[in-house]
Structure 1
Amino acid sequence: MAGRESLPLRRLKLFQPLNRLTDDQLILLASRAERRTHSPGQKVVERGVRDGMDYFLVAGTVELKAGDGRTSKIEAGGEKALTAVARLQPRMYDVVAVASCDFLVVEQDILNQMLRDAPLIQADLDSMVDETSGGTDEHRLLMEFYAELRSNQVSLPSVPDVAWKVRRTADRENSTAEEVASAITADPSIAAKLVRACNSPLYRGFNDVRNVREAVIRLGTRTTRQLVTVFAMREVFSTKQPFLQKSIDALWKHSREVAALSWVLADRATRIDPDEALLAGLLHDIGAVPVLVHAEHYARLFADANLLDHALGELKSDVGAAILEAWSFPATFVEVARHAEDWQYECRQDLPQLVDVVQVAQLHAMIAAQQNADLPQFEDVPAYRRLGGLELNASRSLQMLTEARARVDEVHRLLAIH
């Protein structure tokens, strides 16, 4: 069913990227959008279709079903409902109403144009454009760049095949070590890395393992799945453009450091699986990769590295969350990508979460890299206070990581396995 009832502005501003629009733009958007309702069991969008519409879930619950049978649910008001549902086109999922649903449906072309016309996201970014280039052409290009990223006109990376296959196999009920090992050995490079990792000080047993099957048995399917994904991520942090590789390499170096610190923090100060924290730390900036790659088309605009840094800061969290959602990662990983540098973010769970560990790891990594000019004090960061409930304070955390430097270095060596 379709209707013309509009939402109040305060409700529209809860959605991303609608929160980037002015009040006047939102009023115009609401007048040109549709409200659609769907009954339980009714298909909302169909996989493979390119319809040019964005569906924002206002009320109800929907189920997303991928081509391989994987499913996930999105509830109105939840973290996954902050952006348009299954917004990549052509659609990667069938979307079916679980309970009665209410959607705000917007034409992407209309939204894209409004984003191009919207004010710049930060006043200092606006000033920087004026100071560095001083023209309306640069302003237009910057808004075009933002709009393309936000409207999914940019190619997001695919999860590496071996990681995808291993995750699917490991997540299957009653999957065996032989089946998981078989999926891994399809990629000899990843297989070799896994065996070497299993024989490293982090995972070594009384005897060295000799093959992938023995490694899977020692590590268990959960750790195996995480490590295979970790090893496979290096191919995502790459580009065929030599002039971009330096930036990608710097991003990989930072991600490795955050991953190593996350592993140690999780191991020493929480009950979170260290290997899960390792992977979350490695992926926290994944959204920067397609932003950097897309910046290739705007070389004149981003000749100023400071301007590119601003664009990365504004866009990488939304893009990263979109990537991990498309890869069907758990909501805790999506939360990390969205809030890794949102220092005032406080998750709702009582116990420390992945996002807390990665945020604190980021603080330490940035301080070590002398990037602490704009960082808050440790005690002012909710994530740090949440870990503080486990007797982790500023001096203790620095001492702990100093004492654990050998472990951090060992994780670095793990990530550097060729």
Structure 2
Amino acid sequence: MIGRESLPVQRLRQFKPLNRLTEDQLVLLASRAERRTHTPGQRVAERGARDGLDYYLLSGAVELESVDGRKSEIVAESEQAANAVARLQPRMYDVIATQPCEFLVIEQDVLNQLLRVAPVEQVESLSEEDSDADEEYQLLMEFYAELRSNQLSLPSVPDVAWKVRRLTDREDTTAEQIAGAITADPSMAAKLVRACNSPLYRGFNDVRNVRESVVRLGTNTTRQLVTVFALREVFQTRQPLLQKAMETLWQHSREVAALCWVLAGSVTRINPEEALLAGLLHDIGVVPVVVQAEHHVNLFADQVNLDRAIAELRGDVGAAVLENWGFPDSFSEAARHAEAWDYDCRKPEPQLVDVVLVAQMHAMIGSHQNQGLPAFAAVPAYHRLGELELNVSRSLKLLTEARARVDEVQQLLSIH
């Protein structure tokens, strides 16, 4: 049930970050907000939804259930109820009413606009803890606003990768022309030759120059490998503390990329180099978040806050980066849903996103980060690969036997 009856201003001040707003702003906000009631057992919000709304619990109680089945309860007027319920989007929880309950429902865009012009003295009157929480909330909302209006500073494709991708899009491009574009970047030329002579691509004889490498590898593999090697320079930041986060991100991306290469070649018809690149790019959305963190040093000095912002923003920002770079939709889909274990793209054959999701799971299990991971049987992507006779025992056996191959791909990605 939906209504428009306004709440008293003092009642609104009990919620964060509404307590930052002036009385006039709260009156305006109350006039634009809705009040909704729900009966026990009724779904309030659905996991995975992107509705742009904040739900503040006025009365009653709700249960939150995550993708792995864990449940928690929020009761009105408790400390947890001071913040919007399951605010992060796409939503990470199913929210079910367990008692008759009432919500104040606010559009996030409306609240964000009011927070932008909230007076400084309102912020200074808050405790340090409240101020940090509100700054985090405002930063997340600013990211979304900038993302929607194309104002967020996204990384650009390194020049050599951009030139090679444009050349290979043309049917009349020769190996000499592609080699010429690569040779203009001596570092890239050396990497490609070393890659062509690596165990993954070595022939009967070593190649001696870029043109021979392009001929042996073929246009598509050359294109993908040049992009892979060029990406290393994207994972950089000026702040030593944040550079550590970048290095950790790069190491994880390399591990997932190597597993994608093996999985794609073993149990799908997806091109392994394409899967390798999708694995390397699955967390590209973290890069702009970490770079932006340079401007919010006090907020992001706390690793917990940085991790929370990354978890909230990585999918949408990653998809935006790849769309901006002109990558196919399949790459954007893989970045957006790389940790959405319940995602099901519902296409007849396995997709890049399926390979990335399953590779992610194996990478996390291999590094003992499997706390909170769902069972393989509960992951749609795993079942989609299962259509090609992949199951739990076979996948673990496959990756154990392919460990040497994974190590070879890791060495390829480590070429300097």
8 Å CA contact 1:116–1:143 kept in 2: the answer is no
In 1, distance between residues paired with 2:257 and 2:369? 17
Structure 1 segments, 4+ long, off by >4 Å, are: 110-113
User: Aligned residue for 2:241?
Assistant: 243
Residues 195 and 215 of structure 1 are in contact (CA less than 8 Å); yes or no, is this contact kept in structure 2?
A: yes
Q: 1:256 to 1:196 in 2, by over 3 A?
A: same
Matched, 1:21 2:46: no
* Residue 160 of structure 2 is aligned to residue 166 of structure 1: no
Is the 8 Å Cα contact of residues 21 and 114 (structure 1) preserved in structure 2? no
Provide the secondary structure at the position in 1 that maps to 2:294. helix
Is structure 2 residue 136 aligned with structure 1 residue 142?
yes
1:231 pairs with 2:225: no
Q: Do the aligned residues in 1 keep the contact of 2:197 with 2:207 (CA within 8 Å)?
A: yes
Matched-pair contact (CA < 8 Å) for 2:54–2:108: no
Are the equivalent residues in 2 in contact too, given 1:199–1:205 (CA < 8 A)? yes
Aligned mate of 1:318, from 293, 316, 319: 316
**Other structure's SS at 1:297 match:** coil
Amino acid at match of 2:286: A
Kept in 2: contact 1:148–1:154 (CA 8 A): no
- What is the 5 A alignment of 1:13-412? 19-22=51-54, 114-115=111-112, 135-152=129-146, 153-412=151-410
SS of the residue 1:321 aligns to: helix
Verify the 8 A CA contact 2:136 2:299 in the aligned structure 1: yes
- Conservation of the 8 A alpha-carbon contact between 1:112 and 1:148: no
The alpha carbon displacement at 1:18 in A equals 6.5
1:117 positional shift: 6.3
Q: 1:414 to 1:343 in 2, by over 3 A?
A: same
Deviation at 1:183, TM superposition (A): 0.8
Question: Would you say how many aligned residue pairs link Structure 1 and Structure 2?
Answer: 307
Alignment TM-score, normalising by the size of structure 2: 0.70
Deviation at 1:175, TM superposition (A): 0.6
Which residue is equivalent to 2:61? none
Deviates further, 268-277 or 288-297: 288-297
Please say if residues 191 and 229 of structure 2, whose CA atoms lie closer than 8 Å, have aligned partners that are also in contact. Answer: yes
Secondary structure of the structure 2 residue equivalent to 1:135 = helix
- Counterpart residue number, 2:13: none
Is the CA contact (8 Å cut-off) linking 1:117 and 1:143 kept in structure 2? no
Moved more, 335-344 or 289-298: 289-298
For residue 145 of structure 1, report the CA deviation from its aligned partner.
1.0
8 Å CA contact retained: 2:236, 2:246: yes
Q: Report the Cα offset of residue 304 of structure 1.
A: 2.5
Q: Which residue of 2 aligns with 1:70?
A: none
Compared CA separation, residues 20 and 112, structure 1 to 2 (3 A): closer
The CA distance in 1 between the partners of 2:266 and 2:153, in whole Å, is 38
Q: 1:23 to 1:140 in 2, by over 3 A?
A: closer
Q: Residue type matched to 1:151 in 2?
A: A
**Structure 2, unaligned stretches of length 5 or more?**
1-44, 57-89, 91-106, 116-126
- Mapped contact 2:53–2:108 kept (Cα < 8 A): no
Query: Equivalent residue of 2:415, what SS?
Result: coil
Deviation at 1:139, TM superposition (A): 2.7
**Matches of 2:292 and 2:404 in 1, distance apart?**
38
- Whether the aligned pair in 2 keeps the contact of 1:209 and 1:215 (CA below 8 Å) is yes
Deviations 1:204-235 (A, max 9, x none): 11111111111111111111000000000000
Q: Tell me the distance in 2 between the aligned counterparts of 1:230 and 1:113.
A: 41
CA contact 1:248–1:289 (8 Å) conserved in 2: yes
| Counterparts in 2 of 1:115 and 1:370: CA distance versus 1, 3 Å | farther
Q: Distance in 2 between matches of 1:111 and 1:402?
A: 47
| C-alpha distance 296-405 of structure 1, shift in aligned 2 (>3 A) | same
For the Cα contact (< 8 Å) 2:343–2:380, is it kept in 1?
yes
- Larger mean CA deviation between 238-247 and 226-235 belongs to 238-247
Letter in 1 for 2:51: N
Matched letter for residue 136 of structure 2 = L
Distance 1:308 1:21 in 2: 23
Deviation at 1:242, TM superposition (A): 1.4
Does the 8 A contact of 1:280 with 1:333 survive in 2? yes
Paired amino acid for 1:281: G
**1:112 Cα deviation after fit:** 5.2
> Which of structures 1 and 2 has the bigger CA Rg?
2
- SS of 2:218's partner is helix
Q: Which runs of 5+ in 1 are unaligned?
A: 1-12, 25-81, 83-109, 119-132
